[in-house]
């Protein structure tokens, strides 16, 4: 019979379903811990990692990705500092209770970044603001 100390914190599920899809590029200019943080954050925002789910242990994820445990720890610490996870000493790191406003803000920021890149590209090819608005209006009308 499991000891009560093995139980997850109240409100969290003890589900070791490590179905994370993380791809680390050693040739990227983005530090590995930031790649890891970003990808886990995206999985949380998208709902692929459910609220209360336990993340793989630092050592397990480090071994699986063939990276330093300190790198994984740094990524987990950053996720916790940003409110995406909760770490319970001796029990693990869990996906934090969903802060719907935080998740919505993160999704909106991602869309704004894509719009900014598209606007910059449009200006690079010579479109002015009126032409850009016209393209957006046409695309919205088609939807």
Terminal CA-to-CA distance of the chain, rounded, Å? 56
Secondary structure (3-state) at 122: helix
Cα–Cα distance between 71 and 31 in angstroms, integer?
Answer: 9
Structural tokens at position 113: 């970044």
- Domain residue limits at 107: 100-142
Looking at the structure, tell me whether residues 69 and 137 fall in a common domain: no
State both tokens at 106: 């993160």
Same domain, 12 and 79: yes
Distance CA 112, CA 117 (A): 9
Both 105 and 85 in one domain: the answer is no
Report the CATH number that the domain containing residue 69 is assigned in CATH.
Answer: 1.10.10.10
Identify whether residues 117 and 49 lie together within a single domain.
no
Query: What pLDDT, on the 0 to 100 scale, is given for residue 45?
Result: 81
Would you say 52 and 91 are in contact if contact means Cβ atoms under 8 Å apart?
A: no
* Mean pLDDT score, 76-88: 92
Whether residue 44 is found in the same domain as residue 64: yes
Same domain, 89 and 34: yes
Domain count, the chain: 2
How much is the pTM? 0.64
Confidence band, pLDDT 50/70/90 cuts, at residue 90: confident
Residues 64 and 82 in one domain: yes
């Amino acid at each position: 019979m499991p000891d009560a100390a093995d139980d997850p914190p109240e409100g969290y599920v003890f589900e070791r379903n490590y179905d994370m899809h993380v791809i680390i590029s050693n040739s990227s200019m983005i530090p590995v811990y930031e790649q890891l943080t970003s990808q886990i954050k995206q999985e949380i925002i998208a709902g692929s990692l459910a609220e209360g789910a336990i993340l793989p242990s630092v050592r397990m994820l480090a071994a699986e990705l063939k990276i330093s445990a300190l790198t994984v720890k740094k990524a987990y610490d950053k996720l916790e500092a940003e409110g995406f996870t909760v770490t319970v000493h001796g029990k693990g790191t869990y996906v934090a209770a969903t802060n719907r406003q935080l998740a919505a803000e993160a999704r909106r920021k991602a869309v704004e970044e894509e719009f900014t890149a598209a606007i910059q590209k449009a200006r690079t090819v010579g479109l002015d603001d009126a032409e850009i608005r016209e393209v957006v209006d046409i695309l919205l009308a088609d939807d």
